[in-house]
Chains A and B, each alone.
Chain A
Amino acid sequence: MKRRAGILIITGLLIISGLLVLPGCGKDKVVLQIYNWGEFIDPGLLEKFEKETGIKVELDLYETNEHMLAKLEAGGTQYDVVFPSDYVIEEMIKKDMLYKIDFNNIPNFKYVSDRFKNLNYDPTNEYSVPYFWGTLGILYNTEMVDEEVDSWDILWNEKYAGKILMLDSMRDTIGVALKKLGYSLNTTDTEKLEQAKQLLIQQRPLVNGYYVDEIKDMMINGDAAIAVDWSGSAMDIYWEGIDYIKYVVPKEGSNLWFDCMVIPKTSQHKKEAEMFINFMLDPENAYQNSLYVGYASPVTEAFERIMQENPEVAEMDAYNPSEEVLDKCEVFIDLGDSRSLFSRIWTEIKVQ
């Protein structure tokens, strides 16, 4: 008796799993496969898209650009839309991994602010559509820091020894040192990089540690006074209702970054992918998505609506940096062969 029940359960499970595998090949209905960062899209929008168009959406998740690239380059996937960051797009274009987007199918592209078109990673704007953008800057606790924070210099101030957090991110951290020295973030000059390395090694005793996700919590707890972090984290802290932590983009300039939508050559449904991109650029949808994810949208209407509803946000460097600041910011470009040089410097800093 018992054994029969066991057999029944197993057959039941096998049938269920069989049903799960089949739908992909059963009907002719288009299934759009989307590959995105975790928590980087409002699930409500996917349902809305399915309802509006009748196209089914399947979402897979990744955590770093590098993981995504590895999976895509290996093949065996059929992703239709992916969301890489700026310098990765450049690399993907070089490796011929992306389709040119037919912008006739994306009328909503007109809602995207001109500031975010034709950027150096995709100069003729043929392959990518911006999705979210932000900056790199300094988070500081106003109860622990009494001087004005407007420069990267404060990260080398011995007064805050042990209370400084740096980002565990190669290009961002080396970029901070390069910017402090007045150089470009994208320099591959060995001499300049050597100076940046020395600067970071010199800073090492003052630094509490190199973190990513934990920075927000440590700042809120008061475990640290100053941290390098992305603007999105500052917005998260703001939406939490915490007012003693401020964010500033230093006057020397910083990194301006973009996560974009692209169509990889693995796509089987290019047209539907373009419909999806167009859907995400609709001001109403972009607004809803930006509220959910917390980052700033490149769609002007959505961006401004959030500021109208939250006048404080309009004043914040983390959401709405001034033109003056933005002009000094640079977008990362693909390092090409110099990447190994960066890696070596990064290792040398971290082993100190």
Chain B
Amino acid sequence: MVKFLKRFYLTLIFIFLYAPIAVLIVYSFNESKSRGYWGGFTFKWYAELFRDRDIIKALYYTFLVALLSSIISTVIGTFSAIGIHNMGLFGKKLALNINYLPVLNPDIVTGIALMTLFISVNMRLGFLTMLISHTVFNIPYVILSVMPKLKQMDKNMTEAALDLGATPSYALRKVIIPQIMPGVITGALIAFTLSIDDFVISFFTTGSGVTNLSILVYSMAKRGVKPSINALTTLMLLTVVILLLLINKRTTKGDELIP
């Protein structure tokens, strides 16, 4: 009985999480433009998706900004985390608290503040300002995901490496970085996802023909969201699922190799 209830509860949660996505996938094959009405099966929205100059352009900018900002913020964030880790007690606390501020700050405040900053230094809003903003809001998350790994790391390892004649940069590359790698990867992934997701900050910090997907979708509020967006989401979801399966397969294989 208890087992049944457990399963039932779990199923319910999964239905709740995945039903909206399932509906969206189904409607990406809907002949009719409306979401409330089934007009027959079609692939036309997929064809239209690849012909739509605006969507492709938005997709391109979204991924370019996400990729660049996550790489840059991961590099900056990782080094900052190592630096903060080696600070004195007071400095560490202060730095971490300051690091929390952008995380807790509402997006709209960050967005408008960044916009005001760019304008006050006479920067033209566009690709560069959006990239800088995304990098800025990603860094705290990278630091937060790297810090625990640094805490877990044996302090003596670095010292041992240095004692054995490693230069600091060699110790960093061969000892510290490999140890905190899982945290760095998590940080990079979080940064990437956050960047793809972000609407508010992007809206206020972009201009000059640079539009990302979230701005594109929000801007359709007045006229109704196009079904080709459903098609795009379906494709993106499919990519993520395939990637996850591949990663899982590789990691399980790796586990088997270890006796």
Residues of A whose CB lies within 8 Å of any CB of B are: 10, 13-14, 16-17, 20-21, 24, 31, 33, 37-40, 43, 58-64, 67, 70-71, 74-78, 212-213, 216-221, 223, 232, 236-237, 240, 242, 293-294
Contact = CB atoms under 8 A, between A and B. Distances in A.
> Closest 3 A-B residue pairs measured CB to CB?
A58-B209, A38-B219, A217-B36
B148 interface: no
Given A17-B68, A39-B220, A216-B34, A74 B116 contact: yes
12 contacts: A31-B208, A37-B219, A39-B223, A59-B54, A62-B219, A63-B219, A71-B203, A76-B123, A76-B125, A78-B208, A216-B36, A240-B37
A218 B126 CA distance: 38
B225 interface: yes
A217 B203 contact: no
Among B128, B204, B207, B210, max chain A CB count under 10 A is at B207
A294 B211 CA distance: 24
Contact of B37 (A59, A212, A242): A242
Contacts of A77: 125, 207-208
B221 A212 contact: yes
A16 B64 contact: yes
Given A24-B208, A31-B209, A62-B219, 13 more contacts: A13-B68, A13-B71, A31-B208, A33-B207, A39-B224, A60-B206, A61-B219, A63-B220, A71-B204, A217-B35, A220-B34, A220-B36, A240-B39
A208 to B, nearest CB: 14
Given A43-B52, A217-B35, A236 B224 contact: yes
Contacts of A24: 124, 126, 208
Interface of B: 32-37, 39, 52-54, 64, 67-68, 71, 112, 115-116, 118-119, 123-128, 131, 203-204, 206-211, 215-216, 218-226
A61 B125 contact: no
Given A61-B215, A220-B37, A240-B34, A33 B123 contact: no
Chain B interface secondary structure, helix, strand, loop or mixed? loop
Given A38-B220, A40-B222, A61-B215, A76 B207 contact: yes
B208 A217 contact: no
Nearest to B131: A17
Nearest to A223: B36
A213 B224 contact: yes
A43 B53 contact: yes
B211 A61 contact: yes
Contacts of A17: 64, 68, 127, 131
Contact of B209 (A60, A62, A63, A71): A60
A293 B209 CA distance: 21
A220 B37 CA distance: 7
A13 B53 CA distance: 21
B34 A217 contact: yes
Nearest to B65: A17
Contact of B211 (A60, A78, A216): A60
Contacts of A74: 112, 115-116, 119, 204
Given A236-B33, A242-B37, A216 B224 contact: yes
A234 to B, nearest CB: 13
A224 B114 CA distance: 44
Contact of B124 (A78, A218, A221): A78
Contacts of B125: 76-77
Contacts of B119: 74-76
Given A17-B64, A78-B124, A60 B208 contact: yes
Contacts of A240: 32-34, 37, 39
Contact of A63 (B36, B52, B115, B222): B222
Contacts of B223: 37-40, 232, 293-294
A38 B115 CA distance: 22
A13 B64 contact: yes
